[in-house]
Amino acid sequence: MNLKIRSKWLALSKFTRWLVYGILIAVMVSGVAGYRFYNFIFQNNVKKSGLLYIATGSGFQQVFDSLSQGGYLWDKTSFEWVALRKNYPKNVRPGAYTIKGGWNNNQLIDLLRSGTQTPVKVTVNNIRLREELAARLAHYLEPDSGAFISMLNNDKIATDLGFTHESFPVLIIPNTYEFYWNTSPAKFIERMKLEYDHFWNMARKSKAVELGLSPLQVVTIASIVQEETNKNDEKPRIAGVYINRMKRGWLLQADPTIKFALHNFQIKRVLTEYLSVDSPYNTYKYTGLPPGPINFPDVVNVDAVLNAEHHNYMYFCAKEDFSGYHNFAQSLAEHNRNAAKYQNALNKSRIWK
């Protein structure tokens, strides 16, 4: 400080000098605090990328704990400070959120406040029973299997949608869908109704009418076809056999329906003793189709029925080479010869039941 300036400074009163000192210190402290608060808001505070699940009913503490225990935050204090000032504790939204490593607190909290979830892909296929479907859904989504099975067994909901308890599974069209993680069972059913209506368009409905079948009958036959073979090229032919039997008023005598009636899907040989089970699903005992599908048939099986082959086959039997394909027959005598070959092959392989 040169002499002239120093003289002027000393000429100031002691109070004034202290006031200036105070102002300078305040400015410095404010600058430091401002820089710190700026970093709280905008400096990288997310260590890693990941999917954060916020359960329905969670409060801010649960979210804070999930982020902390999951190892997402560099600085927990700064996150909490920014969250309070952005009023996030009063705006916690459940769901699954994709967060990115390198984000700052402002980006993270804006996402969580917005409720912009990451959809979860749910694949529904190769399912026989409602309990299996409920377990599959609970694997992907927040509600537990009990909540889903209660909805799937709710006869009032089935009736309101135009189904019976037995036909309700027709509503589910197997596919891969995107849902929000916290989708409720009721919302799941609503979505399935939209997908059902979309699937059963005019083209498919027209094909069903040409066959003299309702969508329920088509899906029920498709569920049997699905159990009979995994050979897609053979499915329309097998569907044609069952349609031929229906038209003639024959017993369908579909082995998969016996397995369903007994709830034993490990059976390899349908023995005579099994055929006496008293169930509407026993197609060896009751004519026509069972009251509903015996599984949730994939689209390929439904379309196989809608595009069933027109032929005169009335019988089919698994081939004796265990290839998964079948021998088809028009007459009982021919069928019996095919069946004998298959039975002999089972005996040689020591497959008794």
The tens place of each residue's pLDDT in the chain, 353 residues long, gives 565 555 554 554 554 555 544 454 544 455 444 445 555 576 888 999 999 999 999 999 999 999 999 999 999 999 999 999 999 999 999 999 999 999 999 999 999 999 999 999 999 999 999 999 999 999 999 999 999 999 999 999 999 999 999 999 999 999 999 999 999 999 999 999 999 999 999 999 999 999 999 999 999 999 999 999 999 999 999 999 999 999 999 999 999 999 999 998 888 778 788 888 999 999 999 999 999 999 999 999 999 999 999 999 999 998 988 888 999 999 999 999 998 888 888 888 776 55
Please tell me the chain's helix, strand, coil percentages from 3-state DSSP, rounded to the nearest 5. 55, 10, 35
DSSP state of 349: T
Please, which residues have CB within 8 angstroms of residue 271's CB and are 6 or more apart in sequence? 353
The pLDDT of residue 349 is 72
CB atoms near residue 317 (< 10 Å): 19
Distance from chain centroid for Cα 46: 30
pLDDT given at position 27: 45
Please give the pLDDT value at position 32. Answer: 45
Angle, helices 235-248 vs 299-306, to 10°: value is: 50
Q: Distance between CA atoms of 217 and 209, rounded to whole angstroms?
A: 11
Parse the chain into domains and list their residue ranges.
18-118, 120-199, 202-348
Residue 70 CB neighbours (<10 A): 15
CATH code for residues 18-118: 3.30.1490.480
Distance in angstroms (rounded) separating the CA atoms of residues 268 and 303:
27
Q: Both tokens of residue 155?
A: 């006869």
CA dihedral 147, 150, 154, 158 (to 10 degrees): 60
What's residue 31's pLDDT?
Answer: 45
Structural element, H or E, at residue 317:
strand 315-318
Q: Which long-range contacts (CB under 8 A, 24 or more apart) does 249-254 make?
A: 249/287, 250/287, 250/314, 251/283, 251/284, 251/285, 251/286, 251/287, 252/224, 252/283, 252/287, 252/288, 252/289, 253/283, 253/284, 254/224, 254/228, 254/283
User: How far out from the chain centre does Cα 238 lie?
Assistant: 30
Structure tokens that stand for 8 in this block: 């002027």
Position 353 scores a pLDDT of: 58
Residue 343 sits at φ, ψ, to 5 deg, of -60, -40
Q: Which tokens in the block code for residue 88?
A: 């996030």
The answer to whether residues 182 and 94 touch, using CB atoms and an 8 Å cutoff, is yes
